[in-house]
Amino acid sequence: MTLTEDKILELLKEVKDPEIPVISLVDLGVITGIEINEDHVTVNMTPTFIGCPAMDYMKQDVVDVLNKNGIENHTVNLNLKTTWSSDLISDEGKRALKKFGLAPPPVHNNVIEDLDIIEHAECPNCDSTNTTLKSPFGPTLCRSLHHCNNCGEAFESFKPI
């Protein structure tokens, strides 16, 4: 098999976020770089949050997928020098979040001028923007809790970061 960045990314789409198992690390934007030097592959990962408890699991899953596909000469790095942004989530990833029942974060082009951006979430159930922030603290650091005033459903939103 000829190793290309696209081929490695396609293989890594198999690796899902353990907290949101419908989205791949590629579509979540956690895989932030692939380097190929002859037969050696380096995968760079950036956590959504420093100290994310799932990073060790995700890193091992990346190693397992590479090994399973015959790519045994590899390095998987956790990049803590660059911050992850929710703008890195692909369109496919945003659709997966919504289908899972999580409101995808709005695009903010790495500029958050006001924390009100957390308050305005689109309901993943009925697409209404008539929603209320119940708590900026969800079950994980990257989520907040909301209520839809139209359909009456509670939902979580992936925070813009």
Q: What is the pLDDT of residues 27-42, one digit of tens each?
A: 999 999 999 999 899 9
- Residue 91 inside a domain? The answer is no
- Residue 94 inside a domain? The answer is no
Total domains, the chain:
2
Q: Are residues 50 and 80 in the same domain?
A: yes
Domain boundary among 50, 84, 118: 84
Structure-model confidence comparison of residues 71 and 119, the more confident one: 71
- Residue 11 inside a domain? The answer is yes
Domain boundary among 33, 52, 84: 84
| pLDDT score, position 115 | 63
Q: Nearest-CA neighbor of 35 among 79, 5, 14, 78?
A: 5
pLDDT in tens, 41-81: 999 999 988 878 888 999 999 999 999 999 999 999 999 88
- Residue 92 inside a domain? The answer is no
Q: Are residues 57 and 126 in the same domain?
A: no
Q: Are residues 80 and 10 in the same domain?
A: yes
Q: Are residues 147 and 118 in the same domain?
A: yes
| 110: containing domain | 101-158
Cα–Cα distance, 61 to 50 (Å, whole number): 19
Phi-psi region of 127 (alpha: psi -120 to 50; beta: other; left: phi over 0): left
Sheet hosting strand 143-148, strand order edge to edge:
102-103, 154-158, 143-148, 131-135
